[in-house]
Amino acid sequence: MDYLKGLNESQYEAVTTLEGPLMVLAGAGSGKTRVLTMRIAHLITNGVDPFNILALTFTNKAAREMKERIAKVVGESDARSLWMGTFHSVFARLLRSEAHYLGFPSNFTIYDTQDSLNVLKKVLKEMNIDSDVYKPKKVLGRISQYKNNLITVNAYFNNPEIIEADERANMKLMGEIYRKYVDTCFRSGAMDFDDLLLRTNELLTRFPEVLAKYQDRFRYILVDEYQDTNHSQYLIVKALASKFENICVVGDDAQSIYSFRGANIYNILNFKKDYPDAHTVSLEQNYRSTQNIVNAANVVISKNLQQFKKNVFSENEEGEKIKIYRSLSDADEANFVASNIWEIRNREQRKFEEFAILYRTNSQTRAFEDALRKRNIPYRVYGGLSFYQRKEVKDLIGYLRLLVNENDSEALLRVINYPARGIGETTQNKLIVFADQNNISIAELLSNLGFYAPRLGLNNGVLNKLGEFWSMIKAFQVMLKQDNVYNVAMEVSKRSGLIKLLKDDQTPEGISRVENVQELLNSMQGFLEEQQQLEDGDASLSNFLENIALSADTQRNDDEEDMVSLMTIHLSKGLEFPVVHLVGLEENLFPSFMSSSSREELEEERRLFYVALTRAEKQAFFTYAISRFQWGKITDAEPSRFLSEIDSEFLEFINPAMERRTINRSGLSSSIFDEAPSAETPFFKKKEAKRTIGSTPKEEAVPKNLKPVATARIINPSGQSSQDIEVGDHVRHDRFGVGEVIFLDGTDPNNIKAKVHFANEGEKNLILKFAKLTKI
């Protein structure tokens, strides 16, 4: 029982209390996930059949890691039999076996958010609804809310309160849109993400025999990150656990960050009400982070009124202070982070995978990707536009989806005229409307084209093209019955004309699109091999498609594992990294401008901040920019209020000489800003401060022959000398805007070179004589 040795007393208690309801409510890094993992191992060691254990995690990555750890204790084969994964993946699997109860085919398609949006846009168009008023994303968000609160279409129309609420919001067509959207998905044999939970609830409520079957099957249920379960998830867990009540939930109310998606913090707070006999355990020691990080995080979260007071402490080393870097622009910020990573990796012999860059919104990624690529630092972006969502990849997947489920109209319309084969939008619209009016799928229409043709109003040329397209699909389907997924996908990409179309484009982007398709094919081969090795392997195309539909937080298997991780804070929950860069700490970005109007929203932003900071084990860096390229223009930015909420004893500025100006601009009055050295700090000191974190991009990129000189004259093209200019001066350039002089070189007045770091353009090497710089 070696695995029990490393646990503290409370952890031991939680791991070894096997029967009955149990809740672990505890702060970040206190070992909740570890307890859950060890508890599963302990259950199996004590004779519980792994088939009877259901473990729900927040990400696929977490599930994979947990399984690996459990396998080390109980062996591979037992670990493999566990039902473990995200709510969505576990219940998608359950729904596949039971789909017929609900009138769905077992090979139903899973729509990701982009697919759902496409479907919704078509619905709005067909209903002639102005999508400026009914913004698709907003409408989809509302539909998602209904679903997560188990408001089906029928329930909607029987609920005057919701109808009135939608009317007040000037969205009185919501009910009709909702109905039509649900119908369209149903007819396509497709479920969106929320359906996976809603339909599971429907299944368990309407069919007692199914409920009984899974209650018996899942005798032990464990849920990680319970604070972020939504109502729909809560009900599923409650229903399944109600027979044996062997349910263990772990969570932290201070890390509840998904209320915008319907997560309900009261699920964890009311656990005791649901299970009056529940045993509760609290964990107080944080094993993840340095004392400095834990204490700083505690200070921030204590500003929230709505929370359980928890005592969290660390007995790890005190650690370094959190370092703050103030940058001139988003590009500057990204350059700093990239070189900082490079520097620390070399100095401390770390691997790239020990670093994370966390941001508030996905749109911040690009600058970091550019900066990392420039330095050849391998990285992986989680979430956002994943590999499987790239257009060319989705196009091929569209064909494959259609082979598995021909009623999937979204897939069908995606590929029917791609590559172009003369089946234009007008024709497609006719098909959509006709299918809708006759309550059939487009596939049915195409399969019986001769029968419907007289009423379709299409000319013979178009009818022929439709016929050809459909026979091609049918031929692929026949092939799928006899051949493996890889060969079929190869054939599809060739015969459909997809590869040829992509290959015709010889631009770098075009080439990379071909590579992506190739990569998808490779991943199918990997999938085949993997499934062949598994005892209960399933190498079917529909299993492949399901895996990728639910893989938003996993990326394709790169050969290279040692990479810097880039992700939103939301995705980082539960993870840990030795070195964390938390970037974009600016008002209106973090806290987000959409979430700082009410106290509740602000408290959620603060919880996000708490989550971000507590990911760091050894070192945390905060960065912010004073101007940022956003929504197509450069905007001024002010430091985030969260920075001022942390006591100065936990913080240290990397570029201190600048801070006084920052504080003046923002009006923040935190002590850290007051204590920062004045702007008159001697130059050498400023540089020294920079060196403590290693060479900044500015220094790194300086050619060896460029030596700093103290001053130089700005000479305008006419040869006249003007103001003196020094390293460290701020200057303006006609085209590049505002920047800081980093290096000067040369004595010949006609040939003085300056290296200037511009806020928005990055570094430029200029010859002063021609550069027309103005000192500011």
Closer residue to ligand ATP in complex, CB, 610/743: 610
Q: At what angle are helices 9-16 and 32-45 packed, to 10 degrees?
A: 40
Tell me which residue of 354, 773, 711 sits closest to 565, measured CA to CA: 354
State which of residues 34, 180, 231, 769 lies at the interface with ligand ATP (CB under 6 A): 34
Active-site annotation holder among 229, 255, 662, 696: 255
| Catalytic annotation present for 255 | yes
288 is a contact residue toward ligand ATP (CB under 6 A)? yes
Give the x-and-dash track for 334-363 against ligand ATP (CB under 6 A). Answer: ------------------------------
Q: Element (H or E) spanning 775, and its range?
A: strand 773-775
Closer residue to ligand ATP in complex, CB, 574/656: 574
Provide the token pair at 183: 């119908």
Return left, alpha or beta for 291; rule: phi > 0 is left, psi -120 to 50 is alpha, else beta: alpha
| Contacts to ligand ATP from residues 610-629, by CB under 6 A | 614
Minimal distance, residue 288 CB to ligand ATP, in Å: 4
Tell me which residue of 105, 64, 69 sits closest to 85, measured CA to CA: 64
Tell me if the bond preceding 591 is cis, omega within 30° of 0: yes
30 is a contact residue toward ligand ATP (CB under 6 A)? yes
Provide the token pair at 502: 């992509």
| Catalytic annotation present for 482 | no
Tell me which residue of 254, 247, 312 sits closest to 284, measured CA to CA: 312
Minimal distance, residue 90 CB to ligand ATP, in Å: 19
Minimal distance, residue 377 CB to Mg ion, in Å: 28
Minimal distance, residue 624 CB to Mg ion, in Å: 28
33 is a contact residue toward ligand ATP (CB under 6 A)? yes
Closer residue to ligand ATP in complex, CB, 576/605: 576
Q: Are 741 and 720 in contact (CB under 8 A)?
A: no
CA–CA dist 690, 670 (Å, integer): 22
Which residues is 110 bridged to in the sheet?
A: 191
* Number of residues forming the site for ligand ATP (CB under 6 A): 18
Q: Element (H or E) spanning 145, and its range?
A: helix 136-148
229 is a contact residue toward Mg ion (CB under 5 A)? no
| Catalytic annotation present for 370 | no
CA–CA dist 557, 554 (Å, integer): 9
Stretch that binds ligand ATP, among 30-38, 100-108, 639-647, 679-687 (CB under 6 A): 30-38
Burial of 538 (0-12, 13-18, 19+ CB in 10 A): exposed
Distance in angstroms between the alpha carbons of the first and the last residue of the chain: 69
**Which listed option, Mg ion, ligand ATP, none, makes contact with residue 572 (CB within 5 to 8 Å by class)?**
none
* Number of residues forming the site for Mg ion (CB under 5 A): 3
Closer residue to ligand ATP in complex, CB, 33/523: 33
Stretch that binds ligand ATP, among 22-30, 167-175, 361-369, 644-652 (CB under 6 A): 22-30
Closer residue to Mg ion in complex, CB, 287/313: 287
| Catalytic annotation present for 224 | yes
Cβ–Cβ contacts within 10 Å for residue 644, how many? 17
**Which listed option, Mg ion, ligand ATP, none, makes contact with residue 408 (CB within 5 to 8 Å by class)?**
none
Q: Are 541 and 400 in contact (CB under 8 A)?
A: yes
**Which listed option, Mg ion, ligand ATP, none, makes contact with residue 406 (CB within 5 to 8 Å by class)?**
none
Annotated binding site for ATP: 26-33
Cβ–Cβ contacts within 10 Å for residue 535, how many? 7
CA–CA dist 86, 82 (Å, integer): 13
Coil, helix or strand for 86? strand
Tell me which residue of 277, 268, 282 sits closest to 246, measured CA to CA: 277
Minimal distance, residue 30 CB to ligand ATP, in Å: 4
Minimal distance, residue 225 CB to ligand ATP, in Å: 7
398 is a contact residue toward Mg ion (CB under 5 A)? no
Active-site annotation holder among 32, 180, 219, 513: 32
252 is a contact residue toward ligand ATP (CB under 6 A)? yes
Active-site annotation holder among 33, 200, 427, 614: 33
Q: Are 101 and 207 in contact (CB under 8 A)?
A: yes
CA–CA dist 152, 205 (Å, integer): 13
Minimal distance, residue 746 CB to Mg ion, in Å: 57
Stretch that binds Mg ion, among 26-34, 226-234, 334-342, 608-616 (CB under 5 A): 26-34
Closer residue to ligand ATP in complex, CB, 26/334: 26
| Catalytic annotation present for 553 | no
CA–CA dist 392, 384 (Å, integer): 16
251 is a contact residue toward Mg ion (CB under 5 A)? no
Stretch that binds Mg ion, among 28-36, 642-650, 663-671, 745-753 (CB under 5 A): 28-36
574 is a contact residue toward ligand ATP (CB under 6 A)? yes
| Catalytic annotation present for 529 | no
Active-site annotation holder among 199, 401, 573, 615: 615
CA–CA dist 91, 245 (Å, integer): 20
The dihedral over CA atoms of 138, 144, 150, 151, expressed in degrees to the nearest 10, equals 30
289 is a contact residue toward ligand ATP (CB under 6 A)? no
Provide the token pair at 426: 């007008």
Closer residue to ligand ATP in complex, CB, 6/75: 6
| Contacts to Mg ion from residues 188-227, by CB under 5 A | none
State which of residues 6, 208, 422, 424 lies at the interface with ligand ATP (CB under 6 A): 6
Backbone angles phi, psi at 634, to 5 degrees: -85, 125
262 is a contact residue toward ligand ATP (CB under 6 A)? no
Provide the token pair at 181: 């959207």
State which of residues 14, 15, 23, 28 lies at the interface with ligand ATP (CB under 6 A): 28
Whose CB is nearest to Mg ion? 33
7 is a contact residue toward ligand ATP (CB under 6 A)? yes
| 383 DSSP 8-state letter | S
Sequence-ordered list of residues with C-beta below 8 angstroms from that of 649, at least 6 positions apart, any chain: none
State which of residues 186, 207, 287, 434 lies at the interface with ligand ATP (CB under 6 A): 287
33 is a contact residue toward Mg ion (CB under 5 A)? yes
Tell me which residue of 625, 605, 574 sits closest to 364, measured CA to CA: 625
Provide the token pair at 296: 């700083």
Minimal distance, residue 572 CB to Mg ion, in Å: 11
What sign for the dihedral angle of Cα 179, 184, 188, 191? negative
CA–CA dist 177, 190 (Å, integer): 17
574 is a contact residue toward Mg ion (CB under 5 A)? yes
CA–CA dist 363, 276 (Å, integer): 45
Question: Residues interacting with Mg ion, by CB under 5 A?
Answer: 32-33, 574
The residues carrying an active-site annotation are 32-33, 224-225, 255, 615
Question: Residues interacting with ligand ATP, by CB under 6 A?
Answer: 6-8, 11, 28-34, 252, 255, 287-288, 574, 576, 614
